[in-house]
Amino acid sequence: MSWNITLKVEKRIVKTGEIFKGFLLEMSNLTRFCLRFFKEVFKPPYEFSEFAKQSYLVGNKSFLLIASTAIIMGVVLTIQSRPALAQFGAQSWLPAMVAISIVREIGPSITALIFAGKVGSGIGAELASMKITEQIDAMEVSGINPFKYIVVTRILASTLMLPLLVVFADTVSLYGSYFAVNLKDNVSIRLFFLQVFKEINFSDVFPAFIKTFFFGFAIGLVSCYMGYNAGKGTESVGKAANSAVVYGSFLVFIIDMIAVQIASLIT
C-alpha cells in the first residue's frame, strides 16, 4: 500500500517537473522570438505597405465590436454606480467617477481583452494556416524574409492600433455614460464633460495610455509566435488560435498589474 502511494507521488512529481520544464522551454523560445523581432524591425528593407495593410485590417476587424462593447460598458457602469452614490447624496460625482474608472482601468483592460479575442485569434489562425500550407516555406524559397513580412508587420500593427482603439473606446464609453446619466437626470453634454475633465488629470491618462502599447505588443507577439511555430495538421490552427487568446489575455493581466504598481510608485 505504501509502495503504491510512493509510486503515485513520484509520478506526480515527475509530471510536475515535466510541465515546469515545458513552461521554461516555451518562455525561452518566446524570448528568442521577441529578440528576433527587435533585430528584424530595424533592419531594411521595411515593409511599409504590408504594415499599413495590417494596421487597417487590425483596426477594422475589431472596430464595431469594441464600439458596441464600449457604449454598453459606459451605460452599465453608470447605472450600477448611481445607487451607491445616491446613498451619500453624491450623484453629482457620477460623471467624474465613471470617467476615471473607464480611463484608468476598465477601458484599456476590456478593450485589450476584446482585441486579444478578436485580433489575436485571427493572427494565430492565419499564420498557422500559412505554416501548414507551406506558404512560409515558399516565401523563403522566393527570397522573401517571411519573419519580417509576416511577423514584424503584424506585431507593429497591433502595437500601434490598440492604443488608438482604446482612445476610441474611452470616448464612446463616456458618451454611453452621458446617455445613462440622462435617463434619470437632465444634464447637458457641456456640463457632463466639464465635470469629467475637471477631475481627470494627466496622471490618470498618461499611464493608462502608455500601457496600451505594451498590451498591443504582447498580444501581437504571442499571437504571431503561436501561429508561426504551429505544428503540422489542421488541428494546429485551432490550437494556435486558442493559445493566442489564452496567453494574450494572461499577459494583459500581468502587464496591467505591473503597470498599476509602477504608476502607484510614481504618483
Q: Kind and range of the H or E element at 50?
A: helix 48-86
Q: Is 26 a member of any domain? A: no
Q: Is 3 a member of any domain? A: no
Report whether 173 contacts 70 (CB < 8 A).
yes
Spell out the per-residue pLDDT of the chain, length 267, in tens: 555 556 555 566 656 666 666 667 888 888 899 999 999 888 888 888 999 999 998 888 788 899 999 999 999 998 888 887 777 777 778 888 889 889 988 899 999 999 999 999 999 999 999 888 888 888 888 878 889 989 999 999 999 999 999 999 999 999 999 998 888 778 888 888 888 888 888 888 888 999 999 999 999 999 999 999 887 777 888 888 898 999 999 999 999 999 988 887 776
Report whether 254 contacts 215 (CB < 8 A).
no
The neighbour count for residue 231, using CB atoms within 10 Å, is 12
Q: Is 36 a member of any domain? A: no
Amino acid 5: pLDDT: 57
Amino acid 232: pLDDT: 79
Amino acid 222: pLDDT: 94
Q: Is 12 a member of any domain? A: no
Q: Is 205 a member of any domain? A: yes
Q: Is 171 a member of any domain? A: yes
Q: Is 32 a member of any domain? A: no
Amino acid at 24: L
Tell me what percent of the chain is helix, strand and coil, each rounded to the nearest 5.
90, 0, 10
Domains contained in the chain, number: 1
Q: Is 64 a member of any domain? A: yes
Report whether 173 contacts 74 (CB < 8 A).
yes
Domain that holds residue 100: 48-266
